[in-house]
Amino acid sequence: MSLKLVILDRDGTINADSDEFIKSPEEWHPIDGALEAIGRLNHAGYHVVVATNQSGLGRGLMDVASLNAIHAQMNKQLSKVGGRIDAIFYCPHAPDENCLCRKPAPGLLEQIAERYGMTLDNVPFVGDSLSDMQAAQAAGCRPHLVLTGQSAGLRGQALPLDFPSHTLMHNDLDAFVSYWLRAVATSSAALSALAT
């Protein structure tokens, strides 16, 4: 049986984003319902992994110790609602470093595929930006856009033409989880019916 995996962006998807970057645990604030949504995925048997650009490191705005402290805060708050994140993959580079891991490049997602020894076909990648969706498409993931963070202004609008055409939109991470768990249950029921 294949691993049940969901990949999430961090800033603007799990926690409130900031133009000034999230540089300390005190600046990290979860979006309403996001941590509980991750807990629901865990309880449904999913491994949840984060793929996040953290150019604040490459820009010299914070160090790795600060990033680790932010993630410790995130994991502490998650544990209070019965959730967990299995691994966090991050790109530390500034945009002008032309690395292969900064989204929209698929490098982070390819690292996840390698770590878990699997292809990412049909694995959902949930994020709040065009670069997230482009990375998802390049890595073969299913692109799911949450209308929080960078895409909050798209609520009530059609998907912009520059996004991958098969991108699905959800109000927030909680709405994505409700959709995904319902879709998986429906698919499983259909397969069971075929087998009988």
pLDDT at 1: 47
Q: Per the omega criterion (within 30 degrees of 0), is the bond before 104 cis?
A: yes
Average pLDDT, the chain: 94
The pLDDT of 117-124, averaged and rounded, is: 95
Q: Which of 9, 17, 132, 172 is catalytic?
A: 9
The pLDDT of 32-45, averaged and rounded, is: 97
**What's the 3-state SS for the chain?**
CCCCEEEECCECCCECCCCCCCCCHHHCCECCCHHHHHHHHHHCCCEEEEEEECHHHHCCCCCHHHHHHHHHHHHHHHHHCCCCCCEEEEECCCHHHCCCCCCCCCHHHHHHHHHHCCCCCCCEEEECCHHHHHHHHHHCCEEEEECCHHHHHHCCCCCCCCCCCCCEEECCHHHHHHHHHHHHHHHHHHHHHHHC
Query: How many structural domains are present in the chain?
Result: 1
132 catalytic? Reply is no
Q: Which domain holds residue 122?
A: 5-195
Q: Which residue has the higher pLDDT, 2 or 42?
A: 42
pLDDT digits (tens, 9 = 90+) for 138-189: 999 999 999 999 999 999 999 999 999 999 999 999 999 999 999 998 876 6
CATH number of the domain at 105, please: 3.40.50.1000
**Band of the pLDDT at 20, cuts 50, 70, 90?**
confident
**Band of the pLDDT at 195, cuts 50, 70, 90?**
low
Contact (Cβ atoms closer than 8 angstroms) between residue 17 and residue 132: no
Q: What distance in Å separates the CA atoms of residue 22 and residue 36, rounded to the nearest whole number?
A: 21
- pTM > 0.85: yes
pLDDT at 10: 98
pLDDT at 2: 73
Q: Which of 11, 17, 132, 174 is catalytic?
A: 11
pLDDT at 189: 67
9 catalytic? Reply is yes
